[in-house]
Structures are given as C-alpha cells and as structure tokens.
Chains A and B, each alone.
Chain A
Amino acid sequence: MHLSAGEGGTGAKPEATLARIHEATRDLVHRTRDIVWAATPQHDSLESLIEQLAAHAERTLGDRGVDVRAELPALVPEEPIGAAARHGLFLAFKEAVNNAAKYAQARTAVVRVELTERELVVTLKDDGVGFAPGELQGTGHGLGNLRARLAALGGSADIASVVGKGTAVTLRLPRGRRGEEPKA
C-alpha cells in the first residue's frame, strides 16, 4: 500500500494533508464524471473516448505515484462510436487500469492508442511485478472477463505478463460497426 508521508495525521505537513483532501475531492468528481461521460450521447466520438481513456489511466495510476505516459494519435477522424462499444471498451480498460493500480506495483505505465484501418487498438503496459500465466483465473485479478467483454463487441483482448517484468493488456475493437448495433 502506498501512502504519502504523514498519513495518520499527527506529523502531517499541512501541504500533504491539503493535497490529500484535494485528491479525494478530485477523485469523487472524476467518478461522477466517468458515469456522466458514459451516459451522455454527445460523447460518442472517437476523440472523446481516447481522451477519456488516457485521462482515466493518468489520474488513477498517477494518484498512486505511477508515472503514466500517453501515446496517442494527434488527430483522429470524426468518427462516431456506438454506445455499447464505447461503454464496453471503457469498462474493460478500467479493469485493466484497476488491476495495474492494485497489483502491479509499477513505477511507470504507458497508455497507447493506435488506429489502424480496421481497428482501434488500446494498450496499457506497466513495468510492475507481472504474474504467471496460470494466475489469471481465480486470484482476484479482474482481467479474466476482459476477453469475453471484448469478444461481445466483435473485438479481442490480449493479456501478456511476465513475472518481474510487467503486464501488457491490449484491447482491439473493430471500427465502423455502429450501424450493426441494435437500437436500444
């Protein structure tokens, strides 16, 4: 568990305490905003999704002292992405981020978004403790159902981990499937 110096009150520097209150407030605001973001139809663009993914990784891991870098395409086409795909991908990505935050003990992480002709590829890579291949099921890792989540969207999830080296989670979502989604 990583806590800032002075946790517990007595010897806390006012600055550290303030920063913590600020972070707690910010966290609450973010959680609310994530929910609002997911539920707002105006956020159905690729651009909005990309910024949301990067910002989510940065603040969740950043608040735990992980140095997060984003590697994004500078400009993406104005392309709509359906609610189911947008929501599903974000939830899957959130699981990957939470897993890294809880277990990885990483120093650095990279969130990379790539756009190929057919796919949106989102990768979260950390330099943490990693885990053995058999460990995926039943150890409390939230990664087990990523594959099912992405498969349901016509995409795929790849989880590669090496003990002592880190973990990379790659989520692939096909582009331009909006018209195929049933209207809710």
Chain B
Amino acid sequence: MISVAIIEDDSHFRKIAADLLRASGRCEVVGDYASAEAALAGMPQAWPQVLLCDINLPGESGIAAMKKLRALRPELIGVILTVFDDSDKLFASLQAGAVGYLLKSESGAAMVEAVVEAAAGGSPMSRAIARKVVRHFADAGAAPAAVAPPVAAGLTSRETEVLQRLAQGARYKEIADQLAISIETVKNHLRKIYEKLQVSSRTEATAKFLRG
C-alpha cells in the first residue's frame, strides 16, 4: 500500500482524487490539504511516500510547498498535478524536486498509475509534457531549425529517441516494442531525461540570474 497526501484547494477535485486513490486498493490517503500552509503544518505529523500537489494554491504556491516539504523530508516523492496551461511551470516544478508531472485532465486510472510508478522510483511523463520537453531541448540546443532533434542538450541518442516517440504519441509499451527494449528501460530513460532537465533548467536559471 502506497501512502499518499494531496495538496489541492479545489475541495471537489481533492475529494474525488482521494476517493479514486483509495478505491484503487493500491493507495491509502494519509492527508489532504487545501493549502501549502495547511500541508506544512500538518504533513510532518503524517508523512506520505508520495505527495500529489497542485500548483495554483490560494497562499504559497504548490511548487514552494514541495520545495519546503522536501527540504524537511528528502525522501518525499513529489508529483505535480495541474492543468495544461500551467505546464510551462514544469521546469520550476522539477527544480522543486518533483519527479513527475501529471495533468488533471488525465483519467483517474492514469493518476493512480502515475502514483504507483512514482512510488516505484519512476518518473511518469505524459505526452503533453514530453512535447514541452522536446521543445525545451530544441530551444536549448544549437538547433539550426525548429525541427532539429534535441540531441544537443545532453541527451543520449537513445533518450532522444524515447522522448521523441513519447511526444509523437506512442505509449511506453509501443516504445519498448519499437526499440526492442523493456518497459523498465523506457522508464529508466524517462527518469534520466527528468534528471537532465533539472540540471538544464538550473543552469538556465543561473544564466538568467547572472544576466540580471
């Protein structure tokens, strides 16, 4: 059983998400909080393995909350749960230590899968996010044209291949079949990609800071 906590200010969504997690039989919900402040006060009394966290909260943002909570408890596994229009905040979320980024529009089953995958050490990545990542690396690299592959930004060619196929709409299983590798290997590649994104977004933030 995976212990999960949720930070989400929309009480309706929070309740449904908690109910869906419980109903899956694979998760127990040990805390649900309507704000970052409530989570910071309450969560240290009942730490979950996985934290599902919205970005837009009434007080402090979910990204700030995740950063603080992970500073208190580094083994906390953070997954951002948000709406598509926020996905530009992917990079800030990764810097806060999130291992996965999930859209609220995805199905309840996908949410449970993502929690299970994150708890197992994976980095769940949806197609919409993969597309953002492809674009990020294309912009970061010395790409001559907007359609050049994102190899330049430190991804191996295999990682690039996995990422591109995910962005094109292929599922983990299909990617594994196409590249003749296991699904586990696909997931490993995705984790590496998230790690490299974290580094690259840090470098960029630093560069931006230095430029003033």
Contacts and interface: CB of A to CB of B under 8 A. Distances in A.
Contacts, number: 77
B179 to A, nearest CB: 15
Interface string A63-106: 00000011111111110000000000000000000000000000
A77 B107 contact: no
B147 A22 contact: no
A102 to B, nearest CB: 21
A72 B148 CA distance: 15
Contact of A54 (B19, B150, B169): B169
A19 interface: yes
B152 to A, nearest CB: 13
Interface in B68-127: 83-84, 104-105, 107-109, 127
Given A30-B105, A54-B169, A77-B147, A18 B135 contact: no
B128 interface: yes
Tell me the interface secondary structure of chain B in the complex: helix
Interface of B: 12-13, 16, 19-20, 23-24, 83-84, 104-105, 107-109, 127-128, 131, 134-135, 138, 145-150, 163-165, 167-169
Interface of A: 14-15, 18-19, 21-23, 25-26, 29-30, 33, 47, 51, 54-55, 59, 62, 69-78
Closest 9 CB pairs of A and B: A70-B169, A74-B167, A15-B23, A74-B164, A77-B146, A22-B108, A74-B168, A18-B19, A75-B134
Given A71-B168, A75-B148, A75-B150, 18 more contacts: A15-B23, A19-B20, A25-B16, A26-B105, A26-B107, A29-B104, A30-B105, A33-B83, A51-B84, A55-B105, A59-B105, A73-B147, A73-B168, A74-B167, A75-B131, A75-B167, A77-B145, A77-B146
16 contacts: A21-B16, A22-B108, A25-B12, A29-B105, A47-B135, A51-B131, A54-B169, A71-B169, A74-B163, A74-B165, A74-B168, A75-B131, A75-B146, A75-B149, A75-B150, A75-B167
